[in-house]
Structure 1
Amino acid sequence: MTEGNFVDYIKVFASSGKGGSGSMHLHREKFITKGGPDGGDGGRGGHVIIRGDKNMWTLFHLKFKRHFRADHGGSGSKSRSTGHDGNDVYVNVPLGTIIRDSETNEILFEITKDQEEVVLLRGGKGGLGNWHFKSSTNQTPRYAQPGMDGADGWFLLELKLLADVGLVGFPNAGKSTLLSVITSAKPKIADYAFTTLKPNLGIVEYRDFKSFVIADIPGIIEGAAEGKGLGHRFLRHIERNSTLLFLIPADSEDILKEYKILLNELRTHNPELLDKNRLLAISKDDMLDDELRAEITKELPKEIPHIFFSSIAQTGLTELKDQLWKMLNE
């Protein structure tokens, strides 16, 4: 899914370098006419290496450069001189990137740490020079090994955002508004569904200079796990969160029904998501009086904690952050 500069899924081609050939050289000097073999080894081909970069949060930089080719190794030369190694090619990716084989869809590895490096394709090994093949029965071997070929292939890079808390809710539930109030993030906000077309990350500043990261996931609709709406492309981002914040507005026709639909979409996508901590937050609390709040409380699910807040009136936000911090550190 792409929108603006946000890209979280892309296909790239990578090719490692071929190893340099070994040298078939016989040592010759002015007064040495038969000095024997001294051909050096070829250098290895360049690797293709995936490297994590904490300053990136999208795969947008790969949108216009999808082919990566490492250099070939240099050939060996006389005096047992080894050829130069081919230059490695580095592909920088944001933390949380998964690399898959495009043909089998098998997960090869994932990058979760800054400056973590994993070799995607190894360069071909350099060939041996002819001096390796000298023996008592073959004093002047006139052959050397060629370098080994590199490898190539297509790979899928898939980003799963790394955040502590994931915001889950229907379109226009007020997730972006909440994110703009409790973080310095500036998501697009408007009074219509599907305003958010890309995940937004924000850092929540907590007490004593502590902080945690919260992600606004584009709104889920019923059937999202089967590919309806926009949610199915973003459900994978929730897999990284340790705590899920379900956001339902107080003026919803049936809060419990909405919660169950959201829960079912997560269950259909990945049942393990139900093992995460959950908090139900009822927004637009400024519309409620004590009597209405009490009636809504009776309808809420008993198995998870809940909290009332208002992004507009900025009430209940401290309690919300306190509860999230407590759940993140349980």
Structure 2
Amino acid sequence: MFVDRVKVYLKAGDGGDGMVAFRREKYVPDGGPAGGDGGRGADVVFEVDEGLRTLMDFRYKKHFKAKPGEHGRPKNQHGRGADDLIIKVPPGTIVTDDETGQALADLVEHGQRAVIIKGGRGGRGNSRFASPSNPAPELSEKGEPAGDRNVTLELKVLADVGLVGFPSVGKSTILSVVSSARPKIADYPFTTLKPNLGVVNVKEGVSFVMADLPGLIEGAHEGVGLGHQFLRHIERTRVIVHVLDMSGIEDRDPYDDYLKINEELKQYNMRLLERPQVVVANKMDMPEAQERLDAFLEKAPKDLQVFPVSALTKSGLTNLLRTVAELIDTTPEFPLYEDHVDKEQRVLYSFDKEKQAFEITIDEDGTFIISGKEIERRFKMTDMMRDESIKKFSRQMRHMGIDSALREKGAKHGDIVKLLDFEFEFMEG
């Protein structure tokens, strides 16, 4: 089974907690702080493996959670950082954030990596907080919570040449003749339900990858027939080989087919028509095929390259393949996300707009609710079982302007304030 689109859930590793510990040595004031830092949580990383061809593995495992960092230890021993979670994907995979729709990575080359979610940093141990005024602090940080996200993995076949055309025009037969590929061939529409790849050897040292892609029909850009299931796979191809049936068996007009297929390519993505396109007039061994070809040439653009061939008798294919190979050499790659892709690594880096550090709302019962990514992150890194940690967090809230914001919202002494699952009273003075 060819799987080319899946949704998965990713969670990076949280940072390890810092430790509160003391050394018991002579001449060390108050025993001396000796709590180590927590280790870094694991990143979630996608890596290209050229041995993979589909996203089949993700049909059975759709949740990936990276390991957290180790907690800090006594004697100033830092916790060990977790090894990154490496997830292997086939070449041609695009990773998209489900929430924002932003493309996070375009992975095409073997060994290429993209960090999708960073792991949380380790919390600091009490050794980090020692100062002349507080030489033995009972203060540490919890590990930074790591992010999570739902992403869509979409595989777009890596091929130099894409065979397009209506169903049953002979695309699969052509691929089977010019390469060692053995696609399914039959005399009914939509025989090809998944892309088939074949390596075409033109001559010694000259070869390219050709893809026989599922047949198009009118309305494909809107999802009719195989729709987007086909169209996503042609986006990477450098040259489009448009196959037309000149036999007349299907009772269709070749020129009309030519216009309809190009209209579908245009509607799906205007840039598809920027690629060089050659037309293959297939099934020329059939009676009256030459008459249909002559009628097509009268209507077609004068600069259009048309190659009369017969996949059955293998005639006319040599000139076609040589021309296609020359076009590939002179045609640059078409990046899918030109404005965002790093030209060397082809990794997309997205930057979130700076969000407000906190937001205050009032519940129906009069409780003041504090929310926000930054204040919640600091809260989760605070050890609420230690007074010094709570005092430190209170100073952070005051420094962020939360006290003033609560007063502006009407908070008075003794009012209940809630942050995540933690409730406390607002204190004046």
* TM-score bracket, shorter-length normalisation: over 0.9
2:171 equivalent in structure 1: 175
Query: Structure 1 stretches of 5 or more lacking a match?
Result: none
Report deviation, 1:31: 8.3
Match of 1:185, as an amino acid? A
Q: How does 1:74-93 map to 2 (within 5 A)?
A: 74-93=70-89
Q: Kindly tell me: are residues 258 and 135 of structure 1, through their superposed partners in 2, closer, same or farther at Cα, counting changes over 3 Å?
A: same
2:282 equivalent in structure 1: 283
Q: Kindly tell me: are residues 31 and 141 of structure 1, through their superposed partners in 2, closer, same or farther at Cα, counting changes over 3 Å?
A: closer
Report deviation, 1:294: 4.4
Match of 1:258, as an amino acid? D
1:218 equivalent in structure 2: 214
State TM-score, norm by structure 1.
Answer: 0.95
Match of 2:166, as an amino acid? F
1:212 and 1:291 map into 2 onto residues whose CA distance is: 30
Partner of 2:265, secondary structure, is helix
Contact 2:255–2:296 (Cα < 8 Å) also in 1: no
1:12 equivalent in structure 2: 8
Match of 1:323, as an amino acid? T
Report deviation, 1:107: 1.1
Q: Which is further off, 67-76 or 284-293?
A: 284-293
Match of 1:284, as an amino acid? K
- Give the structure, 1 or 2, with the largest relative contact order (CA under 8 Å, sep 6 or more): 1
Contact 2:247–2:284 (Cα < 8 Å) also in 1: no
Q: For residues 148-174 of structure 1, what are the alpha-carbon distances to aligned partners after superposition, in whole Å with 9 as ceiling and x for unaligned?
A: 101112110111111100111001111
Partner of 1:285, secondary structure, is coil
Q: Kindly tell me: are residues 290 and 102 of structure 1, through their superposed partners in 2, closer, same or farther at Cα, counting changes over 3 Å?
A: closer
1:24 equivalent in structure 2: 20
Q: For residues 89-145 of structure 1, what are the alpha-carbon distances to aligned partners after superposition, in whole Å with 9 as ceiling and x for unaligned?
A: 111111111111112222112111111111111111100111111111111011111
Match of 1:205, as an amino acid? N
Q: How does 1:151-230 map to 2 (within 5 A)?
A: 151-230=147-226
Q: For residues 157-209 of structure 1, what are the alpha-carbon distances to aligned partners after superposition, in whole Å with 9 as ceiling and x for unaligned?
A: 11111110011100111101111111111111100000000011111012123
1:232 and 1:133 map into 2 onto residues whose CA distance is: 57
2:299 and 2:285 map into 1 onto residues whose CA distance is: 19
Contact 2:282–2:310 (Cα < 8 Å) also in 1: yes
1:173 and 1:66 map into 2 onto residues whose CA distance is: 38
1:324 equivalent in structure 2: 324
1:137 and 1:36 map into 2 onto residues whose CA distance is: 13
Match of 1:207, as an amino acid? K
2:335 equivalent in structure 1: none
Partner of 2:318, secondary structure, is helix
2:160 and 2:79 map into 1 onto residues whose CA distance is: 49
1:119 and 1:174 map into 2 onto residues whose CA distance is: 42
Q: Which is further off, 274-283 or 247-256?
A: 247-256
Report deviation, 1:259: 0.3
1:182 and 1:77 map into 2 onto residues whose CA distance is: 65
2:37 and 2:48 map into 1 onto residues whose CA distance is: 33
How many residue pairs align between the two structures?
326
Structure whose CA Rg is larger: 2
Match of 2:124, as an amino acid? L
Match of 1:277, as an amino acid? P
Report deviation, 1:256: 1.0
2:302 equivalent in structure 1: 302
Q: Kindly tell me: are residues 260 and 296 of structure 1, through their superposed partners in 2, closer, same or farther at Cα, counting changes over 3 Å?
A: closer
1:296 and 1:266 map into 2 onto residues whose CA distance is: 20
1:272 equivalent in structure 2: 271
Contact 1:184–1:202 (Cα < 8 Å) also in 2: yes
Contact 2:8–2:150 (Cα < 8 Å) also in 1: yes
Report deviation, 1:232: 2.6
Contact 1:255–1:300 (Cα < 8 Å) also in 2: no
1:300 and 1:313 map into 2 onto residues whose CA distance is: 26
1:44 equivalent in structure 2: 40
Partner of 2:7, secondary structure, is strand
1:136 equivalent in structure 2: 132
2:56 equivalent in structure 1: 60
1:257 equivalent in structure 2: 256
2:259 and 2:290 map into 1 onto residues whose CA distance is: 24
Report deviation, 1:222: 0.5
Matched, 1:245 2:241: yes
Q: Kindly tell me: are residues 180 and 147 of structure 1, through their superposed partners in 2, closer, same or farther at Cα, counting changes over 3 Å?
A: same
Q: Which is further off, 227-236 or 158-167?
A: 227-236
1:162 and 1:142 map into 2 onto residues whose CA distance is: 57
Q: Which is further off, 22-31 or 317-326?
A: 22-31
1:175 and 1:13 map into 2 onto residues whose CA distance is: 37
Report deviation, 1:289: 7.4
Overall identity of the aligned pairs, in %: 42
Q: Kindly tell me: are residues 289 and 326 of structure 1, through their superposed partners in 2, closer, same or farther at Cα, counting changes over 3 Å?
A: farther
Q: For residues 270-299 of structure 1, what are the alpha-carbon distances to aligned partners after superposition, in whole Å with 9 as ceiling and x for unaligned?
A: 111110000000011212579635455334
Q: Which is further off, 222-231 or 271-280?
A: 222-231
Q: Kindly tell me: are residues 19 and 307 of structure 1, through their superposed partners in 2, closer, same or farther at Cα, counting changes over 3 Å?
A: same
Matched, 1:73 2:72: no
Partner of 2:21, secondary structure, is coil
2:194 and 2:146 map into 1 onto residues whose CA distance is: 37
Match of 2:298, as an amino acid? K
Q: Kindly tell me: are residues 204 and 27 of structure 1, through their superposed partners in 2, closer, same or farther at Cα, counting changes over 3 Å?
A: same
